[in-house]
Every structure is written in structure tokens, then in C-alpha cells.
Amino acid sequence: MSIFSLSSSPSLLLLSSSSRFSSLSSSFTIFPFKSSPSPSAFPHSLKSHTHFKAPMSWLAKLGFGNKASEIDSSSSSIPQGPDEDIPLPGHKFAQFGAGCFWGVELVFQRVPGVTKTEVGYTQGLLHNPTYNDVCSGSTKHSEVVRVQYDPKECSFETLLDVFWSKHDPTTLNRQGGDVGTQYRSGIYFYTPEQEQMAKESLEKQQKILNRNIVTEILPAKKFYRAEEYHQQYLAKGGRFGFRQSTEKGCNDPIRCYG
């Protein structure tokens, strides 16, 4: 594996995997930062923010300071519980966090054997978080893609190869211009087998890289599906209205914000 930049932003490095699926993420156009779509393009949640009203500082984005006291602790046990959703018969779930979930989802949509993808929030302290809640830096959620796959057609090892090739796992709480704890690198496992494979895969990657990998490997917790306008965002046209292909095996460059 070699490290090289495919971004107009020199701060983002993408990894090229030796896997046959590395071409899925061979080129990306990265914009400086991610922001919510305009109200005219997509509806925003009308849920009131009754749990906290904390502005997001750069320290909070980077994970410093403790905002947990601003969350209703009585509800924390719910989001910290396991993901109890059930995949289709014969299928399995996997969860990955690798920065902004829009581009990550499209990468996994293109993998043969992946039958469904959803973007959402997990690993946080707040029940039923909104996008604005997560972006506040106070809820500790991670933006993730939950992948449903057929293990007869796609192995978990293949998904791990795609995961490593999609992002830079050595940057703490950021990918390029996207900065915040919600953009952290993470593998969230559903079974002991997934846990073992994830740890072995990380050790293998660490031997290749010359910087410390900061990817967290944790049990999959309750998955909160993100607002509908986030789902298949790039396939729908993204920020600029240009639909991007979800065809299996497609290696078209991914424009991460559309």
C-alpha cells in the first residue's frame, strides 16, 4: 500500500489498497468542508434542541473538553445499547466511520455483494439525535455507514479493504477539511469474528504506514438513521445536482460533496 493525495485539499491523504476493490475509491474531488444542504434543496428536521444549546468550538470539534454533562444522562443507556436491528435472512451488518458519510456510502454501494447501505449516527450519548445535534460536537456520535451484505458474495475482509482505501486513518477526528469528533475513523463490529478480523486488519495496515493509526474498533451500538436527505446523497445528485453511479464495480471518480 502506498499513500498518495487525490484531493485538491493537500491535507487529505487517501490510501491505495492492493485489494482488487481499491479502484472503487481511486479518485475523489474533495471540497474544503461539508455543510448542510440549503433549505430550498432539502428539508431540515424541526426537532427542537431541548437537551443542550452549546456552540461548537474548535476544541469541541477535536474532542477536547467534556460536554457530556449537557446531555440528559437518563437517556444515555439507550444510544449506548447494541444495534438490535436485524438484517435480511442470510445477510450481515457492518458499520464503518471514515469521515463524511456521503462519500463513504457511495463507495460501499458500489461493492458487489453489498445489498443495502444507510447513513446514520452511532456511539453517542443522545437518543434520537439530529444532524445539528451531532454537528454540535457535544453528543459524541460518529457519522457512519451501516452496510448490509451477503457473505456468500462479499466477505467482511473485502469491506475492510474498501474501508482502509477510502480514507486516512491516521488523522484524529478529521478527514481533510471536515473536522469534528463525528468524522473519526471507526470500525464497529457485530460479532467476535468481525472484531478479530478488524484488529488483524488494523495491525496489517499499521505495518505499512509510517504514522500511527487512530481508528477505533468498538462493538456496534444503536444505529440512528440519518435524515432522509442524507440517504444516498451523492446518488441523488448531491450539492450540485450531478447524480453519481452506484453500479456495482464502478470506478468513476467520487465527488464527495456532489
Give Cα 41 to chain centroid, integer Å. 23
Residue 72: per-residue pLDDT: 57
Residue 70: per-residue pLDDT: 54
pTM of the entire structure?
0.76
Please identify every stretch of the chain with a pLDDT value under 50, giving residue numbers as ranges.
Answer: 1-32, 36-57, 59-61, 63-69, 73
Residue 75: per-residue pLDDT: 65
Of 59, 137, 143, 130, which Cα lies nearest the Cα of 99?
143
Residue 35: per-residue pLDDT: 53
Residue 76: per-residue pLDDT: 80
Residue 168: per-residue pLDDT: 97
Active site residue 100: yes
Q: What is the distance between the alpha carbons of residues 198 and 202, in angstroms, rounded to a whole number? A: 6
Domain boundaries, the chain: 75-244
Annotated catalytic residue, options 100, 135, 154, 256: 100
Q: How many Å is the Cα radius of gyration of the chain?
A: 17
Domain covering 75-244, topology = Peptide Methionine Sulfoxide Reductase; Chain A (3.30.1060)
